[in-house]
A and B are shown apart, each in its own frame.
Chain A
Amino acid sequence: MRLRRPGDDSARSGRGRVSGRARGVALRAVDAAVPVVSVLAAAGIWEAVSRAGLIDERDLPAMSTTVGELWSLVQTSAFWTAFGYTVRGWAIGLGLAAALAVPIGIGLGSSPIAAAAFRVPIEFLRPIPSAALIPLLFLTLGTNLKSEVFLATFGAFWPLLVQTMYGVRDVDPVAVDTARSFGVGRAERLYRITLPGAVPYIATGVRISSTVSLILAFTAELFMGTPGLGQAVNVAQAYGLTDQLYALALATGFLGVAIHAATTAVERRLLRWHPSQRGEVRT
């Protein structure tokens, strides 16, 4: 994308400015059409594979059947209640993780001794797949919101913690020293230099943790039966409602895409001032 600016083409081809610009517009229209065509093609293939019987319709309902099922689902209040529960689990999990991980990360990031002291416990706890904790939560906290939130928080905590620690460590030491020699106090240094310096890292952490939190909220619902989309999927599977199973998975995917898009947009907005947002960003 970076290479194709309007005007470039006309300069290179030596033709008139107007036709060059027209070509640029045409190119951009093609660019915009490609993803749309590709999505439509995939939907068409899905429909064809199921209708032609390549995969039995009982195993893979046609695209139109699934979308129709989703359409009737979204008109029920049960769907939106489940949807709301999943979003609630995600939001509380992410919020708690941020409330815990950012202060702890700042503490551990600004003190090498504290970082060394907790290095081993963190290195051991971090890679534990949160999914392994499900049976334990099932038997200790029970199948309720507490379990779901614990799981989502536990999973979302680690990426945010590590990002915050890196961010604090990466703050320009010259800026900190300058502020100190100008007599800026500890609290104000934290607020005016360390935090803004670490914010890009924290934002990346929030983006990663947001995905993790949603996955684990959904996982808790599916495996433990706390109310939400995950539980609805489990029920659909138990009763062999294949159409509904696919419709719910489709809806879950859209929720995932929406949450990812929202966190990315918030990150862009908060970090407008930061150089990382000037080019194309991806992780």
Chain B
Amino acid sequence: MTARAYRAVKVAAELAVPLAILAAWQLWTVASDSAKFPRPTTIAVEFRRLWLFSEFGTHVAPSLERIGLGFAIAVLVGVALGVPLGLSGVARRAAMPHIEYWRAIPPPALLPISIVLLHSIGNLQKVSFIAFFCIFPVLLNTIDGVRGIEPVLLETARSYGVPPLARIRRIVLPAALPQIVAGMRNSLALAVIMMVLSEYFSSTNGVGYVLLISKNTFQLVPMWAAILLIGLLGYVLNLLFLLVERRVLAWHRGWRASVA
């Protein structure tokens, strides 16, 4: 096979297989005609009816707000804790048992506790829950990023009398940024999951609430449309993040390329 024919086969396969899967799904649902597995075309129509954009404001907007707030808090707290923990070995050893415990616990175990503790099933509880678990990827990556900094850099800055805060702002944060951003990307994906969990447990609006209600009322088509929406939400948020990352870290990639 020549290189060109090989490439053509690859592109063809990349297009044909997803289409074939969609077609098979459609044919299978038409043949089985089961209420539990509606046709993809039916789901698509329902998706358009609900989410573009009649119910967007009532259910998607609150969910996005919770993701946004929880994620923002997690990033701020994660970096603010991660920098000192990365710089100080004693602090790190003191914090590690706590970090290891809280990131190993299955998050839903804290859902009922968050309600009891905060007396809330509204934004206070949802955002706190999302933020709490999204801290860990940012925190651990910040610690690692800060620890990976060339010590000579920091010692040189210190011996030139650069004050500590300026050292953090001008050396530590930029050097750790690529890894912090990698942690942020994991956190964002986690935020979507935590949003669904917290809204599915008890809520009055949001995408998870739609899932819960359509389950309780046996409405399969809106449920499938909501699942599709959540999948797309995660996909689009990740895509947006990659676009921002490319801009923010352009200097880093340029530097990497010049070194390599």
Contacts and interface: CB of A to CB of B under 8 A. Distances in A.
Nearest to A123: B235
Interface string B92-113: 0111111011101111111111
Interface residues of B, number: 60
Nearest to B144: A282
Contact of A248 (B94, B98, B109, B117): B109
B234 A116 contact: no
Contacts of A37: 94
Interface in B214-232: 214-215, 218, 220, 223-224, 226-227, 230-231
A136 B17 contact: no
Contacts, number: 156
A120 B22 CA distance: 12
Nearest to B226: A132
Nearest to A234: B112
A246 to B, nearest CB: 7
Contacts of B100: 257, 260
B61 interface: no
A38 B201 CA distance: 33
Nearest to A37: B94
Given A60-B117, A242-B116, A132 B230 contact: yes
B16 interface: yes
A129 B108 contact: no
A128 B230 contact: yes
Contacts of B119: 59
B104 A245 contact: no
A23 B238 CA distance: 50
A249 B94 contact: no
Q: Nearest 10 pairs between A and B by C-beta?
A: A256-B104, A135-B215, A253-B105, A117-B13, A237-B112, A38-B94, A127-B234, A117-B17, A218-B106, A129-B193
20 contacts: A31-B93, A114-B13, A116-B10, A117-B14, A120-B18, A124-B231, A128-B231, A136-B223, A139-B36, A219-B108, A223-B200, A233-B108, A236-B112, A249-B109, A249-B110, A252-B106, A253-B104, A256-B105, A257-B101, A260-B104
Interface of B: 6, 9-11, 13-14, 16-18, 21, 36-37, 90, 93-98, 100-102, 104-113, 115-117, 119, 140, 144, 189, 192-193, 196-197, 200-201, 211-212, 214-215, 218, 220, 223-224, 226-227, 230-231, 234-235, 238
Interface of A: 31, 34-35, 37-39, 42, 55, 59-60, 112-114, 116-121, 123-125, 127-136, 138-140, 211, 214-215, 218-219, 222-223, 229-230, 233-234, 236-237, 242, 245-246, 248-249, 252-253, 256-257, 259-260, 282-283
